Amino acid sequence: MHTSTFRYVRRMPSVGAVVALVAGMLTAVAPAAHAAPGASLPFTSVEAESASTTGTKIGPDYTQGSLASEASGRQAVRLSAGQRVEFTVPRASDAVNLAYSVPDGQSGALDVYVNGTRLAKTLPVTSKYSYIDTGSIPGAKTHHFFDDARMLLGQDVQPGDTVAFEAAGTQVTVDVADFEQVAAAAAQPAGSVSVVSKGADPTGGGDSTQAFRDAIAAAQGGTVWIPPGDYRITSSLSGVQNVTLQGAGSWYSVVHTSRFIDQSSSAGNVHIKDFAVMGEVTERVDSSPDNFVNGSLGPNSSVSGMWIQHMKCGMWLMDDDDNLVVEDNRILDTTADGINLNGTAKGVVVRNNFLRNQGDDALAMWSLYSPDTDSSFENNTISQPNLANGIAIYGGTNLSVKNNLISDTNALGSGIAISNQKFLDPFFPLSGTITVDGNTLVRTGAMNPNWNHPMGALRVDSYDSAVNATVDITNTTITDSPYSAFEFVSGGGHGYAVGNVSVTGASVRNTGTVVVQAEAQGAATFRNVTATQVGAAGVYNCPYPVNSGSFTLTDGGGNSGWSSTWPDCSTWPQPGQGDPDPDPNRNLAKGRPASATGSQDVYTPGKAVDGDANSYWESTNNAFPQSWTVDLGSSYAVRRLVLKLPPSSAWGARTQTITVLGSTDGSNYSTVVGSRDYRFDPATGNTATVSLPSGTDLRDLRLTVSANTGWPAGQFSEVEAYLTS
């Protein structure tokens, strides 16, 4: 799903796995007793910027709409005619898949050299599947710049050998090369029905649609065999149930179609494995089922060993897919989601898949019409989703996101989003326990153009309703996030609470701004969260809307490296900015979350910290004593309070009896200044100043009013707190 609906615009002037970039290759080193993140892949990737080149390196760049921002590692190599990039082969291989980009409207080829010798065949490149525009999605720009092209080298190469790509005419930007030793083609299973025996054309020249249908009908309860070759299907298959569709391997058996299976229901027991489906989707049309699988495979089905490319979605699953297993697949270059479990999923496991260059969420569960339950995304490797999240959970019950490796999210997306954004009704919000364990996020999080501020690497979002599920986030590694590590937000701008969250065992390194970006009321407990190379401050704690409530961070112990708080909610920390020198004369209370024991009508607690002396808080009438409290966001040595009432002469002079209390933890309060009378008179500005004793240190300031000679309630139009006496 895309994060498409609007949100407010701000007014503004080591635990877990450790990720290392070694020779341009993303590897993961896990601690003992915990699974390594990501998929076990049959190939090794090498970044172009780490290779030898006569071209020009571009990036790093995180700016939406720039070419480098969509590249793996946010860097790539641009080749003009005659320029080359030469990779040192990292493993025994006989095939390569290359991620590349060419200018819009152009096509061409790359000459290929192995150990300096030019191959007879070239690698075709094209912009045909790139440069996607989705004007219906707010905040989207032209995106999806890269594509993938693969080739068998026709010979074995060994570690240390070289494979070079040279631009023959068209300018080509090379991103990353995947080197692989392709297994031999599988033999036809005994008793299977070959599509060729039913008239399929393995040259790709003829239409093989009816042959596939006939083979499926003939093989009920058995296997349809797709021999090596290229097959063209011109309309989708349906009525697929109680059958296995099997190829000789995804490099050998290739089906060309933009709609492979489209069916609303199935009896199930469908097993699809070991071939490639190559689409011709060149734009995103959400009303068209241009997917590898659209609808349902039915219960107890599986999809494995597939290469899926150039579709709108890899799989958009609805209806009954209970106990479906999706594993060991590659899903590349889709214009929308890689896989979306669109409600009703029960016991679905999506594991050990590789996804690159999705035009929306790479993996998503969206609980529309009925909840997704007891399903999981496990040990997947996700790279470069360019218009949404790596993994998104939109509602659902008892779901898991475990041991995934996610890198390089772009606009409108986090590495992982746990969200109550519904998009449509009926929607089933998060419930039960949402388990987020053992994930590694690299360069994830992005600037959201709709919000005018960033999205964190891991986001918990009460977008359309409060998050009441238990959200357990454990053993997380977040590296090189351009902005924040953990974000808690009510993305629809309504201020719904994010609660019941615990973050245990996290390692955060080189985060651009803050470790925790709290923008919603609620609470989270942090244990054993360590941070190094924090760009601006440990915590940004500014719930929106102002005065919607506070966000409480509970220190469960073992935390280090992120104790500071960004001091000014009117500005956003910039990557690498560091804590600004605070203005010693600033009002610490302005714009901070405020609460009270009671309020009268529209005269709510936030009126006393909104910067407008003409608006005011008024407590419940005739119910002394009444208390008003403000959370300053961090402990400060406050020395002076200025209490105000509206300056209008219509407010007669009065005396309020006030006690000043303070707390450093929001729970245990002590008296700072005992009960005293304070005179408010319009003739002298209707203000009163309270001096606090030396040694006062407080985060939460509470004023308890026990009497008021002018009205039977506590009243403040502004409460200002200052460091200076």
Tell me the sheet residues that pair with 476.
506
Per-residue pLDDT tens digits for 247-296 = 999 999 999 999 999 999 999 999 999 999 999 999 999 999 999 999 99
Per-residue pLDDT tens digits for 42-53 = 999 999 999 999
The confidence score (pLDDT) of residue 634 equals: 80
Please check the confidence at residue 593 and state whether its pLDDT lies above 90.
no
Other CB atoms within 10 A of residue 262 CB: 18
Tell me if 433 sits within 8 A of 402, measured CB to CB. Answer: no
Other CB atoms within 10 A of residue 398 CB: 18
Could you tell me the CA-to-CA distances from 109 to 80, 170, 244, 432, 558 in Å, in that order?
Answer: 12, 7, 37, 52, 55
248: left (phi over 0), alpha (psi -120 to 50) or beta: alpha
Per-residue pLDDT tens digits for 43-80 = 999 999 999 999 999 999 999 999 999 999 999 999 99
d(CA 101, CA 71): 9
Per-residue pLDDT tens digits for 640-679 = 999 999 999 999 999 999 999 999 988 899 999 999 999 9
The confidence score (pLDDT) of residue 522 equals: 96
User: What value does the mean pLDDT take over residues 89-107?
Assistant: 98
Query: Among residues 148, 167, 183, 168, which one has the least CA distance to residue 45?
Result: 148
Check residues 34 and 612 and name the one with the higher pLDDT.
612
User: What value does the mean pLDDT take over residues 523-552?
Assistant: 93
- pLDDT band (50, 70, 90) for residue 582: low
The confidence score (pLDDT) of residue 682 equals: 95
The confidence score (pLDDT) of residue 569 equals: 87
Please check the confidence at residue 579 and state whether its pLDDT lies above 70.
no
The confidence score (pLDDT) of residue 8 equals: 26
Six token digits for residue 266: 């199935």
The confidence score (pLDDT) of residue 1 equals: 56
Write out the DSSP string of 343-405: S--BS-EEES-EEE--SS-SEEEE-BSS--BS-EEES-EEE--SSS-SEEEESEES-EEES-E
The confidence score (pLDDT) of residue 450 equals: 86
Could you tell me the CA-to-CA distances from 84 to 31, 44, 116, 156 in Å, in that order?
Answer: 39, 20, 12, 21
**CA distance between the termini of the chain:** 53
User: For 398, phi and psi rounded to 5 degrees?
Assistant: 55, 60
User: For 682, phi and psi rounded to 5 degrees?
Assistant: -55, -25
| Stretch among 186-190, 471-475, 593-597 having the lowest mean pLDDT | 593-597
| Stretch among 29-33, 387-391, 442-446, 552-556 having the lowest mean pLDDT | 29-33
Per-residue pLDDT tens digits for 6-32 = 222 222 222 222 222 222 333 333 333
The confidence score (pLDDT) of residue 9 equals: 26
Question: Could you tell me the pTM of the whole model?
Answer: 0.81
Per-residue pLDDT tens digits for 374-387 = 999 999 999 999 99
The confidence score (pLDDT) of residue 548 equals: 87
The confidence score (pLDDT) of residue 13 equals: 23
Instruction: Let me know if 207 is exposed, middle or buried by CB neighbors in 10 A (0-12, 13-18, 19+).
Output: middle
Query: Among residues 358, 356, 401, which one has the least CA distance to residue 382?
Result: 356
Reduced to 3 states (helix: H, G, I; strand: E, B; else coil), residue 113 is: strand
Other CB atoms within 10 A of residue 33 CB: 5
User: What value does the mean pLDDT take over residues 680-691?
Assistant: 96
Nearby residues of 559 by Cβ (< 8 Å), 6 or more positions away: 526, 527, 528, 529, 530
- pLDDT band (50, 70, 90) for residue 571: confident
d(CA 408, CA 406): 7
CB environment 682-693: b (16+ within 10 A), e (fewer): beeebbbebebe
The confidence score (pLDDT) of residue 19 equals: 28
The confidence score (pLDDT) of residue 22 equals: 28
Long-range contacts of 218-221 (CB under 8 A, 24+ apart): 218/193, 219/192, 219/193, 219/243, 219/244
Six token digits for residue 496: 């719904």
What percent of the chain is modeled with pLDDT above 90?
A: 86
Please check the confidence at residue 457 and state whether its pLDDT lies above 80.
yes
Write out the DSSP string of 247-267: ES-TTTEEEE-S-SEEES---
- pLDDT band (50, 70, 90) for residue 36: confident
Please name the helix (run of DSSP H) or strand (run of DSSP E) that holds residue 111, with its range, or none: strand 107-114
Six token digits for residue 541: 């704690």
Reduced to 3 states (helix: H, G, I; strand: E, B; else coil), residue 626 is: strand
* HEC letters along 14-59: CCCCEEEEECCEEEEECCCCCCCCCCCCCEEEEEHHHCEECCEEEC
Per-residue pLDDT tens digits for 191-216 = 999 999 999 999 999 999 999 999 99
Six token digits for residue 376: 């999981």
User: What value does the mean pLDDT take over residues 237-250?
Assistant: 98
d(CA 618, CA 612): 15
Write out the DSSP string of 261-317: EEES-----EEEES-EEE----S--TTS--EEEEE---TT-EEES-EEES-SEEEEE
Tell me if 476 sits within 8 A of 439, measured CB to CB. Answer: yes
